[in-house]
Chains A and B, each alone.
Chain A
């Protein structure tokens, strides 16, 4: 029997790594991710998890050690946040380019300066183009589910890509919620053992990580790009298989009360749940508004997004990150690009908020919806507008 327990998202992710029976964990503690490596180190020390726990001296080393582990065919897990993800940045590219399927939890955190340990999506957006499969979680159950799912998809021989599972620092990482933990037998049914087809073995010598001169680099990168895009089929199959075993079905793009809605709000991560309450309130008042939760961030779910917004007049995209000097919130820019060549497309509005741990209340999301519709109707002088900033914001022009 599965059991329902109170867990913070950090412990839910650690629990998922344990049930996935990982072989190697190499991680460096950083707020707000600390509880994950702490819990895993405890599990290894207590004999609950038969894995090598590698205490490293930095995030750069953490991910480097993970690559070595995957190279010999070990199921590998790590986690980081904010500045830690920045410090490992060069290795983040190496993991995906060498097609090493490990799983990394990111407890999303703002970037310095000023120093902030609190949450937003700046760290996630800075690794947008690194070639990893990336998903966002709305709650602690999803933190568990997506971690397990990530191993299943990344390690699939048709995929072989690392997977990042994002959930919001503090808002999820440190908040206790009910989480349904499955039986080990169910996990084993869903997740077969890791069979890495290129595991280093002295009896069958091969080279990993050779250099790529100009006559092969470009071909290598195109092969990687096409493979990442093709992984979407396995991603969706993985969601289906997960649902068949555990009863919870996920989608790349998830809709909440969108039927006949003329306006849609698009959010990612835990703020989607707050935004849903704002949608409820608005619908109770008879307003025609629904919510899109963007779960799959890379590879970007173009078809699913276009399908979701095809009959909509206004799409309001809420970002927790600034693309400095750019066209709008980074998620909004991508959404606009995805829709630009469609014959019929909604007007797309960019609002930014929730930076560096600033709370977004239900009322704030009601404002996002109201102001978003107003901008769609009358326009705005700014490329994007902000929520909850003291003083009237001007000067975001282009």
Chain B
């Protein structure tokens, strides 16, 4: 993650809007947290995980990130709960769990 504080829409008055709503700042999609409409979240079983990184490759939203220990875990601020990582995992290490369940 970049340290630079990127602006969100709420930082702009109407006069500051870019012509045609064009986004000239590269990479600012990351300031908008889009994980809040998820109904299921992926839970990783580190015992089973082989660190093959297929989940990281297949995640359509780049929401899976490598951790310091070499595992791949979903950033729940961006994960939409699509379940592709759980489906693709050859070791069966990812389980989709209802958000309501603990």
The 8 Å CB contact of B17, one of A160, A207, A216, is: A216
Contact across chains for A208 and B8 when beta carbons are under 8 A apart: no
| Interface 9-residue window, one of A173-181, A219-227, A312-320 | A219-227
B11 CB, nearest partner CB in chain A, Å = 10
- Whether A113 is near chain B, meaning CB under 8 Å from some CB there, is no
CA of A44 to CA of B13, assembled, Å: 45
- Whether A395 is near chain B, meaning CB under 8 Å from some CB there, is no
Contact across chains for A205 and B26 when beta carbons are under 8 A apart: yes
Contact across chains for B21 and A198 when beta carbons are under 8 A apart: no
Contact across chains for B10 and A215 when beta carbons are under 8 A apart: yes
| Interface 9-residue window, one of A93-101, A232-240, A285-293 | A93-101
The 8 Å CB contact of B14, one of A198, A208, A210, A222, is: A222
Contact across chains for B24 and A206 when beta carbons are under 8 A apart: yes
- Whether A247 is near chain B, meaning CB under 8 Å from some CB there, is no
Contact across chains for A198 and B20 when beta carbons are under 8 A apart: yes
B14 CB, nearest partner CB in chain A, Å = 4
Main secondary structure, interface of A, reads loop
Contact across chains for A98 and B17 when beta carbons are under 8 A apart: no
Contact across chains for A220 and B24 when beta carbons are under 8 A apart: no
CA of A226 to CA of B16, assembled, Å: 13
Contact across chains for B23 and A210 when beta carbons are under 8 A apart: yes
Size of chain A's interface in residues, with CB distance under 8 A? 24
CA of A370 to CA of B70, assembled, Å: 88
Given contacts A219-B13, A219-B14, A223-B15, contact A98 B21 (CB under 8 A): yes
Given contacts A215-B10, A216-B12, contact A198 B19 (CB under 8 A): yes
The 8 Å CB contact of B23, one of A100, A207, A215, is: A207
- Whether B22 is near chain A, meaning CB under 8 Å from some CB there, is yes
CA of A97 to CA of B12, assembled, Å: 18
Given contacts A213-B9, A215-B8, contact A223 B23 (CB under 8 A): no
CA of A390 to CA of B32, assembled, Å: 62
Size of chain B's interface in residues, with CB distance under 8 A? 16
Contact across chains for B9 and A216 when beta carbons are under 8 A apart: yes
Contact across chains for A160 and B23 when beta carbons are under 8 A apart: no
Report chain A residues within 8 Å CB of B21: 97-98, 209-210, 212, 216, 220
Contact across chains for B13 and A160 when beta carbons are under 8 A apart: no
Q: What residue in chain A is nearest B27 (Cβ atoms)?
A: A205
Contact across chains for B10 and A206 when beta carbons are under 8 A apart: no
The 8 Å CB contact of B20, one of A97, A213, A222, is: A97
CA of A22 to CA of B63, assembled, Å: 44
Contact across chains for A223 and B17 when beta carbons are under 8 A apart: yes
Q: Which of B1-55 contact A (CB under 8 A)?
A: 8-10, 12-15, 17, 19-24, 26, 32
B1 CB, nearest partner CB in chain A, Å = 19
CA of A100 to CA of B22, assembled, Å: 11
Contact across chains for A220 and B22 when beta carbons are under 8 A apart: no
Report chain A residues within 8 Å CB of B23: 206-207, 210
Contact across chains for B12 and A219 when beta carbons are under 8 A apart: yes
Report chain B residues within 8 Å CB of A206: 22-24, 26
Contact across chains for B26 and A198 when beta carbons are under 8 A apart: no
Q: What residue in chain B is nearest A98 (Cβ atoms)?
A: B20
Contact across chains for B20 and A215 when beta carbons are under 8 A apart: no
7 closest Cβ contacts across the A-B interface? A216-B9, A99-B20, A207-B23, A219-B14, A223-B17, A98-B20, A222-B14
Binding site for B on A (CB under 8 A): 97-100, 160, 197-198, 205-210, 212-213, 215-216, 218-220, 222-223, 226-227
A-B contact pairs, 10 of them (CB 8 A): A97-B20, A100-B20, A198-B19, A198-B20, A205-B26, A216-B21, A219-B14, A223-B15, A223-B17, A223-B19
